[in-house]
Amino acid sequence: MSERNIQQEIGAIVSTNPVVIFMKGSLSFPMCGFSQRAAAILQSYDIKVHAVNVLDDPAIREGVKQYSDWPTIPQIYVKGTFLGGSDSLIELHESGELAQLLSGF
């Protein structure tokens, strides 16, 4: 049995889904306040969001931190680009930049 290449798995998720959130819990049942805020913001745009519950897979939970060089969860990607975590998403949302990034979805 071959060893999982977590970085490759994360790269595939990020590159094949236009909007991705690595979060604790799911979009319908977030398991922490930061994930809840980030999920609510993304869902307010009425777009398809691919959510990855990092609590289901410890290897993904740690691997995504290395992938982005960002120490916390949630992590949001749009069109393969890392946007940051919950605080970054709030700032982008409030400034109107997130609406521009998500236009056309």
Whether 32 contacts 25, CB under 8 Å: yes
Whether 24 contacts 54, CB under 8 Å: yes
Q: How confident is the model at residue 13 (pLDDT cuts 50, 70, 90)?
A: very high
List strands edge to edge, sheet with 19-23: 50-53, 19-23, 75-78, 81-84
Query: Looking at the predicted structure, is the pLDDT value of residue 2 above 90?
Result: no
- Whole-structure pTM value: 0.95
User: Which residues are within 8 A (CB) of 81 and not within 5 positions of it... i.e. 6 or more apart?
Assistant: none
Query: Looking at the predicted structure, is the pLDDT value of residue 36 above 50?
Result: yes
Domains of the chain: 6-100 (3.40.30.10)
* pLDDT for the residue 1: 47
Q: Is 47 exposed, middle or buried (0-12, 13-18, 19+ CB in 10 A)?
A: middle
Average pLDDT over residues 21-43: 97
